[in-house]
Every structure is written in structure tokens, then in C-alpha cells.
A and B are shown apart, each in its own frame.
Chain A
């Protein structure tokens, strides 16, 4: 069972804005930064956001992140069909002394 909690699924229509939440604790999100990964069907995960809200080169600014206390969220605006993927949050956990991943959220574009 993942220490970081994400909703198992989310959905939206093209052009819509969707958010995906990630809930943790004081030992992970509460004291460390959050990163988000996108996993398109049948492919390896890809870094989507790091250090809460930083986009690697090539990631559209439709993707944004935020963190407050022991929770974080990923927002996708102007939803597109190619955004249909699994999304994982992750954070360093001081108790584990390693990474914790969320269970993943499957985003469906209707």
C-alpha cells in the first residue's frame, strides 16, 4: 500500500481543466518537495514536474503543480487526448530514507 494517496481515476473532456491530488504526511510531502511522473500506455514513466512545480524542458505549461502542507496537486489545463495516461506523485520520505510513490491516477480523456 502506497504511503502517498492518489485517486485511482480521473477524467475530463478536451479543453477542460482537471486536477489530481496527492496526500501524504509530515515525513514526506510535509517536509520534502513533490515530483510528478506521466506514464503513457505501454511506455516508461517520464518526469513531468519536479520540485513541486518546475517543468523540465519540453513539458507544456498546461501542466502545473502545487503543494500545501502534506498535500500536493497536479493540474492539467486545456486537456488533450494525448494527456490520457497514468500519473504518479512521488516524494522523499524521511522515515523511509527513500522515495515514496503514490498509487497512480489513471486519467481518461472522454
Chain B
């Protein structure tokens, strides 16, 4: 059974870079799309972007200048970096894997990141 697990610092200072890792177990990321989605406390979902297993990426235009998504197929891991964070970036961050570009088939449990000094 495929499982995804997000990990990283739970607290990031304003203006610094948020860095998260998504580890995939029980399956591969080869031939799959891996997405990052976030959810501010008490609010809805926002798509951040994706990386395809060959390394191509696509980002939400509202975040494009600050976000980088990459993968390490040898470790079966996907990473997210979001620079120059502010309080507005406080959210639960989810990674998701899918055979399709158009939907997220399997989600991680999410990790809460708070931006505060």
C-alpha cells in the first residue's frame, strides 16, 4: 500500500525559506505526478505545483516566483522549497501522488508549518 509522509520544520521565521520533504513508501514515483497542496488553518485547499517523474515542473502563478519542487527518484522523495515566507504561508502542506496530471490519487497526512518570529 502506497503511503506518503511529509516532513520538515514546523516553524519557519518570516523571510526565510520553507523546506519540506515528501517520502513515498510502498510504491515508486516513477511514471507519476507528485503535487504539493496547502491548506491555511480553517480555510480551503490551494494547489502549489507539481513535478513529473522526468523532472518537469509547473507552479501556481501566484507562487511561481518563490517556489521550487524537485524530486530524487533514487530516494523516492519529493521536495518543496518556498522562499521569502510570510504569515500568509502558514498552512498544512500536503504532498500527493497521481498517475494523472488532473487529480491527486493518494495524499500524505500533511504537515503543519507556522511562519512566525
Contacts and interface: CB of A to CB of B under 8 A. Distances in A.
Contacts of A92: 101-102
Interface residues of B, number: 23
A2 interface: yes
B44 A2 contact: yes
A47 B46 contact: no
B45 A101 contact: yes
Q: What's the interface size class on A, roughly? A: 20 to 34
A32 interface: yes
A102 interface: yes
A92 B105 CA distance: 15
A96 B60 CA distance: 7
Contacts of B49: 98
B85 to A, nearest CB: 20
Contacts of A99: 35, 47, 102
A63 interface: no
Nearest to B4: A44
Contacts of A100: 47
A47 B103 contact: yes
20 contacts: A43-B109, A44-B107, A44-B108, A44-B109, A45-B104, A45-B107, A47-B105, A50-B100, A88-B45, A90-B47, A96-B61, A97-B58, A97-B61, A98-B60, A99-B35, A99-B47, A101-B44, A101-B45, A101-B47, A102-B44
